[in-house]
A and B are shown apart, each in its own frame.
Chain A
Amino acid sequence: MRSKSAATLAGVSALALYSSMAVGSKYNLPEPQSVIAQDIYDQHIVLMWICLVIFIGVFGVMFYSVLKHRKSLGYKAANFHHSTTVEIIWTVIPCLILVVMAWPATKTVIAMKDTSSPDITIKATGYQWMWGYDYLQGEGEGISFFSKLSTPRAQIENKAPKGENYLLEVDNHVVVPVGKKVRVILTANDVLHAWWVPALGVKQDAIPGFIRDTWFTADKPGIYRGQCAELCGKDHGYMPIVVEVMDADEYSKWVAAKSSAVKTSMHLENK
Chain B
Amino acid sequence: MAAVHGDAHGHEHDDHHPSGIMRWITTTNHKDIGTMYLWFSFAMFLVGGTLAMGIRAELFQPGIQILEPELFNQFTTLHGLIMVFGAIMPAFVGFANWQVPLMIGAPDMAFARMNNWSFWLLPVAATLLVSSFFVPGGAAAGGWTFYPPLSTQGGLGVDLMIFSVHILGASSIMGSINIITTILNMRAPGMTLMKMPMFVWTWLITAYLLVLVMPVLAGVVTMLLTDRHFGTSFFNAAGGGDPVMFQHIFWFFGHPEVYIMILPSFGIVSEVIPTFSRKPLFGYSSMVYATASIAILSCVVWAHHMFTAGMPTVGQLFFMYATMLIAVPTGVKVFNWTATMWRGSMSFETPMLFAIGFIFLFVIGGFSGVICAIVPIDIQVQDTYYVIAHFHYVLVSGSLFALFAGAYYWIPKWTGRMYNETLGKWHFWLSMFFFNLTFFVQHFLGLAGMPRRIPDYNLQFADFNMISSIGAFGFGLTQLLFLYIMISCIRSGEKAPQMPWDGATTLEWTHLPTPAPYHSFEKPPIVK
A, B: real partners: yes
Given A70-B347, A98-B325, A229-B383; A237-B455 close (CB under 8 Å): yes
Which residue of the partner chain, among A26, A58, A166, A205, contacts B309 with CB atoms under 8 Å?
A205
Verify B141–A233 contact, CB threshold 8 A.
yes
Residues on B with beta carbons closer than 8 Å to the beta carbon of A76: 345
In angstroms, how far is the closest chain B Cβ from the Cβ of A45?
Answer: 10
Of B317, B334, B370, B453, the residue contacting A51 (CB under 8 A) is B370
* Contact assessment for B456 and A237 in the assembled complex, using a CB-CB cutoff below 8 Å: yes
Q: How far is the CB of B252 from chain A (nearest CB, A)?
A: 18
| B6 contacts partner chain A, Cβ-Cβ < 8 Å | no
Collect the chain A residues with CB atoms within 8 Å of residue B236's CB.
Answer: 209
Instruction: Decide if B380 touches A40 in the complex (CB within 8 Å).
Output: yes
Please give, as numbers and ranges, the residues of chain A lying within 8 Å of B338 by CB-CB distance: 58, 61-62, 65
The complex places the Cα of A87 from the Cα of B331 at a distance, in Å, of 11
B382 and A77 within 8 A (CB):
no
28 contacts between A and B (CB under 8 A): A43-B374, A51-B370, A55-B363, A61-B342, A65-B343, A70-B348, A77-B344, A78-B279, A78-B343, A82-B285, A86-B339, A91-B331, A94-B327, A95-B328, A105-B320, A109-B317, A109-B376, A113-B312, A157-B63, A166-B62, A166-B459, A202-B379, A226-B449, A229-B308, A234-B141, A236-B69, A236-B453, A237-B69
* CA–CA, A76 and B503, complex, Å: 12
Binds A, one of B18-26, B197-205, B206-214, B237-245: B237-245
A219 within 8 A of B: no
Q: Are A192 and B149 in contact (CB under 8 A)?
A: yes
- CB-defined contacts of B324 to chain A, threshold 8 Å: 98, 101-102
Assess the A229–B376 pair: CB atoms within 8 A: no
How far is A39 from B309 in the complex, measured between Cα atoms in Å? 21
Interface size bracket, A side: 35 or more
Residues in B whose Cβ lies below 8 Å from that of A106 = 317, 320
| A residues adjacent to B (C-beta < 8 A) | 22, 26-30, 36, 39-40, 43-44, 47-48, 51, 54-55, 58-59, 61-62, 65-66, 69-72, 75-83, 86-87, 90-91, 94-95, 98, 101-102, 105-106, 108-110, 112-113, 155-158, 162, 164-168, 190-192, 194, 196, 198, 201-205, 207-210, 212-213, 226-238
The listed residue (B141, B356, B379, B449) touching A66 by CB distance below 8 A is B356
Of A22, A51, A233, which is within 8 A of B153 by CB?
Answer: A233
Q: How many interface contacts (CB-CB < 8 Å) are there between A and B?
A: 273
Q: What's the tally of chain B residues with a CB closer than 8 Å to chain A?
A: 91
Q: B359 at interface (Cβ–Cβ under 8 A)? A: yes
B332-369 contacts to A, CB under 8 A, are 332, 334-336, 338-339, 341-348, 356, 359-360, 363-364, 367
With A109-B320, A162-B459 already in contact, the answer to whether A198 and B147 are too (CB < 8 A) is no
Query: Is B341 in contact with A69, judged by CB distance below 8 angstroms?
Result: yes
